[in-house]
Structure formats: C-alpha cells, structure tokens
Chains A and B, each alone.
Chain A
C-alpha cells in the first residue's frame, strides 16, 4: 500500500512541479514587463497596469482559475483548453502566470526604485545606453533587493498549485485526498504534507544560497 501511495503521490507531484515551473518561467519575465509598464512615462499604460494589478490582487486566485478554465467554453461555445489533463494544466499555468506576474511586478518595481538614482546618473555620464544601464548596473542590484520578498511568493506558489484541484487537475493534494475518498485513509494526507515540506525545504535552501551568493556586494 505504501508504495502504491508513493507512486500516486509522485504522479501528483509531477503535475504540481509542472505548474510551479511553468508559472515561474512565464510570470517572472511578464512581471518585469509589467513593472516597467507601471513605471512608464506614458500615463494611460501606467493606469491600465494599475487597474490590472488591482483586479488580479483583489480577487481570489481560485476565482480567476475558474473563469479562465470555464470562461472560454461558455463565451465562445467551445473549450479552448483541450479536455484532457494537459489542457487543465495549461489553463492553470495561464491563470497562475497572470496572477503571479502582478505580484512580482510590484516587487520588481520596489526593487528597481530602491536602486539609488545616483547609480543611473553615474551610468549616464559614462555614456551608457538605457539598456546598458539596466542590464549592467540596475538589474543585479534589483535582484539582490528582491530575493527575500520573491522567496515568499515562490513558496506561496508551491502551495497555491493545490488550487488546480478545483478544475480537476490531478496534482499532489488531489492525489493524497483521493485515498481518503476511496479507501478512507488519512495517513496519505500527512504523507502528502511531507512532499510539500521537502519541496519548500529545497527552495528555501536555494534561496539562502542565492542570498549568500549576492552577499559579495552591498
């Protein structure tokens, strides 16, 4: 039984991990783009992004997930997400990416604005272009500033993946819960918790490592 449960949970973990990885992959760059947009000199863009961030941060992720998964089917008359498992994972990744990008954009903006203006000015008087200033000077200083708040969000993301159960994506929590439903077993639930703890434990180590790596400058 133990091995059987382990196998099923590992299956669930794979889905959880996919959602986690792809969400990060899309939401980090998208969040940076939103951060730039929210600092744009062009006011309409700034307002647009402010409204988007307000809506996304102001409503439950679960609600957003339901709308993104079921909405197209109801409005367009056909489901744009294929009905199988991969379609459900894709819909989850889309909903999560938009949601996390908004949170990340606020963190990134704080990180960029926290870099003293003198750094940019020093780059300017040395004849650097705007993109050189961002990539050679601002970026790493921003990264150093955003690692701690980012680690919070990323760890929250690990646990938010369990919301995918809402649209019947077979992720880790769903897998653990299935044994309670069918066999009345509760211990797989605790076992599921251990999976999450290990996942988050590894991430914590990774973030600690990053912080230490960036400790060489101040």
Chain B
C-alpha cells in the first residue's frame, strides 16, 4: 500500500485556481520529483501537504490514516494539527534557519521541545537531552557539517545552510520529506553539494517529494515524476520516460523551453 495518497486536491486563491484535481500516490522509500514552470502550483501542493495551506477540496492520506479530508467538518485543536504535520518534513527554498541558534541548536530545537511533552521528561531530562544531542551531531555529520555545528546561520554559505535545514527536517524522522526548490536560492557552484546530500538520502530509501528545476537531477534521482502546469498534473510516470519521451504537448513545450534555457 502506498505511504501517501493524495486525492483530488483543489485550492483556490481569490478567483484563481492554483490546484485542480491533483491526485497521486507515493510508495514508501520512493522519491517523487515535481517539475513545472513557476506558478504551476508545485509549491502550493507541498504547502498543502505540510498544512501551511488548507486545500478547498480533496483528501490526504498517510499510512492509511486520513490526515485531511475537505468534505469532513474540521474543528481541530492545535495539538492534532501538530501531530499530523509531523508526518511530513519540509525543506524550504530560502532555508528559513533560525538565525539566533547555531547549526546544531537549529537541528535539536524541535526534538527538545517535543521531548518536554513526554511524561517522564523531568526525571530523565539529562539522558533525553544527551540522546537528542547525539542524534543532532550524527545528522550534521551525515550532511558533511561536522566542522560547522557551532556556527550561526549567517556564518555559513547558502549550501551549508540548506544542508543544516535538511538535517533539521530529518531530526523528527518524518515519514515523507518535502523539498521546495531546495537549490533555487543557491549560487550555481553551491547546488552540487545540496543535490549530493539529497541523492544520498534517495540511496538510503528516504521517502521524498522534491519540487525542483534541476531536470537532470530529477531524472536521475527520482523513482516517479510529475509534470504540473496551471495547477493540474499534465503527465506523470517514470522520470526517464516523461523527460526523454514526453507524451503530452504541454510537457514537450516545457522541456523544449527548458533545454533552450
């Protein structure tokens, strides 16, 4: 069974349809790439999955649990919403690291705050914090940032900041990790280091959704690819198939424009 089922998601801002009837599913351990021009609704789709936007229509199911269904009345408490959010991790285009915390503190913050809600927190505070710190250090090492843990975000390059952001998103072990154009705010020479990290996550079978403009990367790394235009999924399937042999006219046009730069 798929880990994620998205059905008929629709979203409107004022009178503009940003998402229309978007449906797809994702298998555990797979990477899904979403491509398309700006304004095609890719980012809004990710934001809906992370509950930063509320869809007007459709449903979202993770591991068989319906997290969102527009047809059901919603009056949820903050606590429920937070629990639902934790199924997803999010890496933003502009990193959004917390500037007042070091790289390591950025990674540990959410875990520490969640630990406080455990009933035995008071008795085991020291052990819990030690474990969290170990975990944070380990994550940053994985990102190749062992030397940068006590640096503040402004002391790091864009690529390093984005890798810290990835570690931060991984800290809570989300079921599905979302990337919103993770390299679009980076200088070209820095995109490589971030893509390398995402590739290694794919190799370790991390379930991911990657919104990206890096076509070659999407083609190599993902197991499944979606092309979106004007809020609808125009074409989806095997990445090599879609990119090398697009079936739809709009996909062909997009890829041609893209190839011309």
Q: Which residues from chain A sit less than 8 Å from chain B, CB to CB?
A: 116, 118-119, 121-122, 124-130, 132, 136-137, 140-141, 216-218
Contacts A118-B92, A136-B109; is A124 near B99 (CB within 8 Å)?
no
Select which of A118, A124, A132, A217 is within 8 A of B94 by beta carbon.
A118
Main SS of chain A's interface residues?
Answer: helix
Cα A2 to Cα B52 in complex, Å, equals 68
Chain B residue with the shortest CB-CB distance to A216: B152
Cα A11 to Cα B97 in complex, Å, equals 51
Cβ of B96 and Cβ of A127 under 8 Å apart? Answer: no
Contacts A216-B152, A217-B152, A218-B154; is A128 near B113 (CB within 8 Å)?
yes
Chain B's interface size range is 20 to 34
> Contact string, B136-161, partner A, CB cutoff 8 A, digits 1/0?
00000000000000001110000000
Cα A209 to Cα B154 in complex, Å, equals 21
Cβ of A125 and Cβ of B89 under 8 Å apart? Answer: yes
Contacts A125-B50, A126-B168, A216-B152; is A132 near B113 (CB within 8 Å)?
yes
Cβ of B78 and Cβ of A127 under 8 Å apart? Answer: no
Which residues of the other chain, A, contact B82 by a CB distance below 8 angstroms? 127-129
Q: Looking at the assembled complex, report how far the CB atom of B86 sits from the nearest CB atom of chain A, in whole angstroms.
A: 5
Cα A118 to Cα B83 in complex, Å, equals 20
Residue B12 CB within 8 A of the other chain: no
Which residues of the other chain, A, contact B92 by a CB distance below 8 angstroms? 118, 121-122
Which residues of the other chain, B, contact A141 by a CB distance below 8 angstroms? 99-100
Cβ of B78 and Cβ of A125 under 8 Å apart? Answer: no
Residue B228 CB within 8 A of the other chain: no
Chain B residue with the shortest CB-CB distance to A130: B78
Nearest 6 pairs of A and B residues by beta carbon? A126-B110, A122-B96, A118-B96, A218-B154, A125-B90, A217-B99
